[in-house]
A and B are shown apart, each in its own frame.
Chain A
Amino acid sequence: MSKKIDERIPRELGEGVLPMHAAIKSPWDKLMSYHDAAHYVQRYQGVISAAIMQAFRILVPDYVDRSKAICKNAYNRLAYLNRIPGVAAYQTTENNTHPFCAGNFPGAMIGDAGDECLLMCGRVNDFGTYRAEKELDVCYWDIVGSELCRSTTQSLQACADVQAELRRKGPRLEFHMVEAKGCGDRHCRIVAESREKYPMPEHEQWECFGPVATADQIKYTKEEDTVKESMIFREECGYRFTNGTNWERDPKSSVYPLASTSNGACYILPTFDDLVREGTLDADEVTRVLKCVCEAAGKAAFGEFYAREGLRSWLGVPREIDDGRVVGAYIEMYLQSARIPYDIEAFNKDEVVYTIDRMALSNRLNRMIDTYLAYWYGATKTLVSAEWSLWEDAEGCPEDKVRVRIAKKIDKFC
């Protein structure tokens, strides 16, 4: 390995000389603003999650079976997380939840704040002991699949239910996603109702897409009144997220870490673990199918020549460079936008080598690193050429790092 880093402007060059940018930058100093990086990471992870969902659909062909599995995992996982000592209390404090709020309706505030962090902008339309309603105008997860939409509803339910245990007993709202952008609706909409006040027939956990009893109370926001940005990026909000109980966040404290740690993969990959544990799926088969799907997704990402040209322009790639450095730069922009630490071991016309923080890259999800590697491998083939490859080079690599190598490679079995 040459360990030569050439033909890129050092990261720190010029630091402090000119006014600082809140931005990430390519090896050739093209900047992407904090705002754009936040949006980019959300959509990037949405695309990866969509690929993972396709693997799920291959492994578990039945929609109901998938939905049951992912909803059950979502509820149990979030209930578990919220029962970790201090977590629910922290959320209660952060949201300025009043001690007199009996029941689980304050849980709606958790979802509201989380949405804003994930740049899923919209508005709360109702918030009361017996009914709550939240409407979204934007959702970066809307390409993943409706199974995910159902499961996120269950994660909201879990947060609300567990947090209610901290206060006096009161009415329980049942959360439904009555509209979903993932299903083609203009908005995502959660309507949560108390079955004491608004009785409805019982249903299975995965059937949390309505109907609801109070559909006539829905406040539908017309297209011309919708928003495109979260409060933190809107002047009319003073570039602050503020909820009804005066919980405030600014752009610095709102987006990260949630924007880079919460995504569709966080729902699907743990579901695979459940199904492997139950014996429904075989672990090796899961990994195999994931790799196949994600490799194809990566190849498709830059299969169209204008996608390739668009990326090159976005990165500011010099015209004469058409090798592994383009892939490296593409990956670096993602790692920076996701705030995943990495070091550059080599960056030259023959090879590019990164060592990436393993924990951050995995996001503590089983098979997440496999997913990225497969996707980036596929992307390498179309972004540069079939002569090039990308793989994990573990030899001599510290355990807490992932070494990714991009170089020409002949593989008779690829």
Chain B
Amino acid sequence: MYKNIYKYDDMKRSEHMAVRTTAGWYLWTHELMEVKGADAAAFLDYVCANPIANLAVGRERYTTMLDESAEIIDDVVVFRMAEELFWVSTLFVNAMKGWFDTHKGSYQIEYENITPKWHMFAVQGPRSRDIINALVAEPVDDQRFFSIRDNRIGELPVKINRAGFTGEKLGYEIYVAADQADAIEQALNEVSPKFDARQVTEFQVMAWTLPTEAGFYYMRDLRHTNPLEVGLDRGIGWDKDFIGKDALLKIREKGPAREMVGFTVEEADIHINGKHLGGPGEAVCVDGEEVGRVSKIVYGYVKDTNIGYILAKKGSLKVGDHVSIHGHEAVITEKSFL
């Protein structure tokens, strides 16, 4: 019982470590909201905490979207596809539509959920550039991080985005018309063995183990938090108006009440509940007082140990502290495990 669902799983380990040592590729389609119009830039500047209007065409930015109380309602990547055309990559497109409907006001914009039109494949890891170059018409050697360009794979028009959710220095995303996804998958299947790359098929690797090792957040981590609590305040456009700014300024002045910290558990076969599976997450107590809750607990194959995050009262847990979580000894760490 409690046998670790990650540690002994050779398939998960090999998929994960392929990304770390050679390359891994996987279907990674997110939802896309296309926003266009004369006021598209200004509108996105308003609904996003980070600046969007100053993005160059072909560049993108990761940003949070806040509600009026400065709570994060989404974390997205906004692409500037053309001067008045943006893509917002999200996992909550229906909520986003409702949000845009509420806040559109008199902005001259149109927005549409274009998710059905596109699929996306992530190619991540040290050899990812080699794989992309083996597929595309135009080499991507000079393509900067967080930039997206048109390209071709065979006869298929594609967009190549240099980005990823794995923490790897090299990583790309191939956007292709949805009805051509099979062709891209076939192409990747043919090319990847030449570079010792493999397909990643396990959701837990794509969404949890790889990003958590890199210190990234996923969905549930950010629910009912604000950017200052979770370290996503870098790059916030304090000199522009955005939804949630007033409340966030107050929090900044007072100081965030909580912070996200990392932790490891050396014991292999454990039973600790994290919010990533739903629910409140396991309580973390110090001297009998609850100081936080486990946001997620997964596995770091690089360090070969259980890893996770705790959302805790600010200052209650410091790196190096030992705490007991549901009877298992945990050590508080930085929130990155590479």
A residues near B (Cβ < 8 Å) are 93, 96, 98-102, 105, 112, 123-131, 168, 170-171, 197, 214, 216-221, 225, 231, 234, 236-238, 241-246, 248
Could you name 20 residue pairs across A and B whose Cβ atoms are closer than 8 Å? A96-B219, A99-B30, A99-B115, A100-B28, A102-B27, A102-B201, A124-B278, A127-B277, A128-B5, A129-B203, A130-B11, A168-B119, A170-B201, A216-B3, A217-B3, A220-B271, A236-B283, A244-B275, A244-B277, A246-B220
- Beta-carbon nearest neighbor of A247 in chain B: B278
Which of chain B's residues 125-174 have a Cβ closer than 8 Å to chain A? none
Determine if A100 and B206 form an interchain contact, defined as CB atoms under 8 angstroms apart: yes
- Chain B residues with CB under 8 A of A99: 29-31, 115, 119
Q: Determine if B231 is an interface residue (Cβ-Cβ < 8 Å).
A: no
- When A131-B5, A216-B3 are in contact, do A96 and B92 touch as well, CB less than 8 Å? yes
Whether A171 contacts B278 in the complex (CB less than 8 A), given A96-B92, A100-B27, A126-B5, comes out as no
| Contact indicator A218/B27 (Cβ below 8 Å) | no
* Interfacial residues of chain B within 261-292, with CB under 8 A of chain A in the complex: 271, 273, 275-280, 283
Seed contacts A125-B277, A128-B5, A237-B280; 18 additional CB < 8 Å A-B pairs: A98-B31, A98-B207, A99-B29, A100-B27, A123-B277, A127-B277, A129-B201, A129-B203, A168-B181, A171-B201, A217-B5, A219-B1, A225-B326, A231-B280, A238-B280, A244-B219, A245-B220, A246-B92
Once A and B bind, how many residue pairs between them come within 8 Å at the CB atom?
105
For A236, the closest partner residue in chain B by CB is B280
Q: A120 to nearest B CB, angstroms?
A: 14
Interface membership of B242, Cβ < 8 A: no
When chains A and B are docked, how far (Å) is the Cα of A101 from the Cα of B208? 13
Task: Return the chain B residue nearest A127 by Cβ.
Answer: B277
Q: Is B206's CB under 8 angstroms from A244's CB?
A: no
**A96 and B280: CB pair below 8 A?**
no
B204 interface residue, CB < 8 Å from A? yes
Check A123–B30 contact: CB distance below 8 A: no
B172-226 residues at the A interface, CB under 8 angstroms:
181, 201-204, 206-207, 219-220, 223-224
Which residues on the A side are within 8 Å of B31 (C-beta)? 98-99
CA–CA, A193 to B224, complex, Å?
Answer: 33
Residue B109 is within 8 A (CB to CB) of chain A in the complex = no
For B30, give its contact among A98, A128, A219 (CB under 8 Å).
A98
When chains A and B are docked, how far (Å) is the Cα of A105 from the Cα of B206?
A: 15
The distance in angstroms between the C-alpha atoms of A221 and B34, with both chains bound, is 45
Asked, given contacts A217-B3, A221-B271, whether A244 binds B29 with beta carbons under 8 Å apart, the answer is no
Cα A243 to Cα B277 with chains together (Å) = 6
Contact in complex: B279, A93 (CB < 8 Å): no
- B residues 24-43 near A (Cβ < 8 Å) are 26-31
Set of chain B residues within 8 Å of A243, measured between Cβ atoms: 278
Q: B93: nearest residue on chain A (CB-CB)?
A: A93
Residues of B participating in the A interface, judged by any CB pair closer than 8 Å:
1-5, 11, 26-31, 91-92, 94, 115, 119-120, 181, 201-204, 206-207, 219-220, 223-224, 271, 273, 275-280, 283, 326
> In angstroms, how far is the closest chain A Cβ from the Cβ of B309?
14
The DSSP consensus for interface residues of chain A is: loop
A219 cross-chain contacts in B, Cβ below 8 A = 1-2, 271
Can you name the residue of chain B whose Cβ is closest to the Cβ of A216? B3
A168 contact set on B, CB distance < 8 A? 27, 119, 181
| Inter-subunit contact B203/A105 (CB<8 Å) | yes
Contacting residues, chain A, for B92 (C-beta < 8 A): 96, 246
Smallest Cβ-Cβ distance to A215: which chain B residue: B1
Q: Ordered nearest first, which 8 A-B pairs have the shortest CB separation?
A: A243-B278, A99-B29, A124-B277, A128-B204, A216-B3, A129-B203, A100-B29, A236-B280
Q: Closest chain A residue to B326 by CB distance? A: A225
Q: CA–CA, A105 to B201, complex, Å?
A: 12
Nearest-Cβ distance from residue A132 to partner chain B, whole angstroms: 10
- Interchain CB contact under 8 A, B5 and A112: no
Tell me, in angstroms, the Cα distance from A320 to B130 when the chains sit together: 89
Is A123 a contact of B279 with CB atoms below 8 Å? yes
B204 partner residues in chain A, CB cutoff 8 A: 127-129
Contacts of A218 in B (CB 8 A): 1-2
In the docked arrangement, what's the CA distance between A93 and B220, Å? 16
The answer to whether A128 and B94 have CB atoms under 8 Å apart is: no
In the assembled complex, the Cα of A255 lies from the Cα of B200 at a distance in Å of 38
| Highest count of chain A CB atoms <10 Å: which of B2, B115, B202, B277 | B277
A51 to B301, CA, bound (A): 53
Specify the chain B residue showing the minimal Cβ separation from A101: B203
CB–CB A197/B91 < 8 A: no
- Within the assembled complex, what's the spacing in Å between the Cα atoms of A100 and B28? 5
Q: How far is the CA of A241 from the CA of B1 in the complex (A)?
A: 28
CB distance from A195 to the nearest CB of B (A): 14
Least CB distance, B275 to chain A, in whole angstroms: 7
Q: Is the CB of A96 within 8 A of B91?
A: yes
Q: Are B279 and A231 in contact (CB under 8 A)?
A: yes
Q: Which residue of A lies closest to B181 (CB)?
A: A168
* A130, B30: Cα distance in complex, Å: 21
Whether A245 pairs with B219 at a CB distance below 8 angstroms is yes
Q: Is the CB of B201 within 8 A of A244?
A: no
Most buried by A among B11, B27, B120, B326: B27
Residues of A within 8 A of B4 (CB): 217
Nearest-CB distance from A274 to chain B (Å)?
Answer: 34
The minimal Cβ–Cβ distance linking A81 to chain B, given in whole angstroms, is 21
Nearest CB on B from A113, distance (A): 9
On whether the beta carbons of A244 and B30 are closer than 8 Å, the reply is: no
Q: Are B279 and A246 in contact (CB under 8 A)?
A: no
Report the Cα distance A93→B202, complex, angstroms.
Answer: 21
Residues in A neighbouring B119, C-beta threshold 8 A: 99, 168
